[in-house]
Amino acid sequence: MSPEAQFWIETIALWQPLSSAFLFVWGAGDPVWLLALKRIFLVMPLGAVALAYWTTVLSVPTIVVRAKRRMFVNQVLVTWWDLARATFTFWGGVLRFMLRLVISLMGAVQILVMGVWALIQELVLLPLRLIRNVGANALSPGVPWIAVAMTFFWCVFEATIFTYVMTSLVIDTLSNLAGTEMTEAAVRIPLFLFMFFIVLGSYAVLSTFTAAVRSRDWPTIVKIGVVELVAMFVEVVFLYREFVDALVPWFAQHTSGNFELGIVGTLAIAGTTWLGIRSLSWFLFANSGTPTIMAIISRQGVGSRDAANGAPPVTSLFSESFTGRLRKEFEWVATEGERLLDAFLVPPMQVVAAALNFVTLLVANRHLLDLPLQSVRDFKDARTLAKELTESRLRKAA
């Protein structure tokens, strides 16, 4: 390239004035605060103006060969107007972003303080709310967890008593069978588990027998009745008989020592005791708790799977007002974050879009983006923009 051609190219392109302007805007030797202000407010607008000027200069010779010259000139002027408006929008947008940032930080601090205070109140009132929810659940229809807990507790309690009563007898029996002396520590835990399952199985048989009687299933009634008689016999002979034997000295004391209960009287009193204890515990809690325990063991599930009207209230650690307020605060955070993102990205993208419109106006005789941009949702992806340019070119060719 000859020096004369280079001179005219640099003159027409305003190379020297623009270079001086870029050096001034970059502000390498300025104080930090001034350097930061120049680079934030002036670098991007100056780059957009330079690109707009160069594309306008390149567009001037093409006016001769363009079909709609007047419309093209109007579009160039409108694009310069969009660039000027985008530049001022960018300058005002920086200040708007700083103001929005301050408002967002103040709102976040307020949410944090109020959230901590509300959480402290919730934790202080948590025991009272749990008591209220438990009471409401206990009085409302649903799974009888209180009966389940009472049945389980009664089985543990009865197994503990039988373990204490039967320990000496079991130790003597096992020692005679094994030929070695058994200790209480080695016997009580297995004996307790055995007694616990015996008592729980007794309630399971009674529950099945009651269900068969309610449905009048006579073959099942006979079979379960036999099983219940066997269970009653085992518990009376091996468990409740020990209580009657413990009462014999008391009977003898009040009959001047001339009292012999005999096997029939012993079994009759033991059977009456078994029947009374089973009847009282069954009608009080076991008739509701045992079917639920059996359903859990058999993995049939408890309660109804369909959400019925008037369902019992769900126990929650936090109150509805607190969760509702928390939900609103999260919604505010999402909305405010979107506004803050718009305030940060939209102003500079206005300048970028205005500069790109000059290039597409030169190449495709149309604007790439419609200004002004309102939010981040107005930012089109590259595939959408390429598709729009292709469709525009095809329409013009047709």
Per residue of the chain (398 residues), give pLDDT as tens: 678 888 888 888 888 888 888 888 888 888 888 888 888 898 999 999 999 999 998 888 888 777 778 888 888 899 999 999 999 999 998 888 999 899 889 988 988 898 888 888 888 877 877 777 666 655 556 677 788 889 999 999 988 988 887 888 788 888 888 777 777 778 888 889 988 888 888 888 888 888 888 888 888 888 888 887 887 887 888 777 777 777 777 777 766 666 677 777 788 888 888 888 888 888 888 888 888 888 888 777 665 444 444 454 555 667 777 788 888 888 888 888 888 888 888 888 889 988 988 888 888 788 888 888 888 777 777 777 777 777 776 676 65
What does DSSP assign to residue 313? Answer: P
How much is the pLDDT for 308?
44
How much is the pLDDT for 156?
92
Specify whether the CB–CB gap between 202 and 278 falls below 8 A.
yes
Helices (H), the chain: 3-12, 15-26, 32-41, 43-59, 69-139, 145-178, 184-215, 218-235, 241-253, 262-281, 287-297, 320-364, 382-397
Specify whether the CB–CB gap between 312 and 136 falls below 8 A.
yes
Please state, as a whole number, how many other Cβ atoms lie within 10 Å of the Cβ of residue 165: 18
- Give the separation between CA 81 and CA 83, rounded to whole angstroms: 5
Q: Which structure tokens are listed for 303?
A: 């309660």
- Give the separation between CA 275 and CA 338, rounded to whole angstroms: 72
Please state, as a whole number, how many other Cβ atoms lie within 10 Å of the Cβ of residue 149: 12
Distance of alpha carbon 61 from its chain centroid, rounded?
A: 64
Please state, as a whole number, how many other Cβ atoms lie within 10 Å of the Cβ of residue 286: 26
Reduced to 3 states, what is the DSSP secondary structure of residue 264?
A: helix
Specify whether the CB–CB gap between 87 and 48 falls below 8 A.
yes
Reduced to 3 states, what is the DSSP secondary structure of residue 215?
A: helix
Reduced to 3 states, what is the DSSP secondary structure of residue 355?
A: helix
Specify whether the CB–CB gap between 268 and 237 falls below 8 A.
no
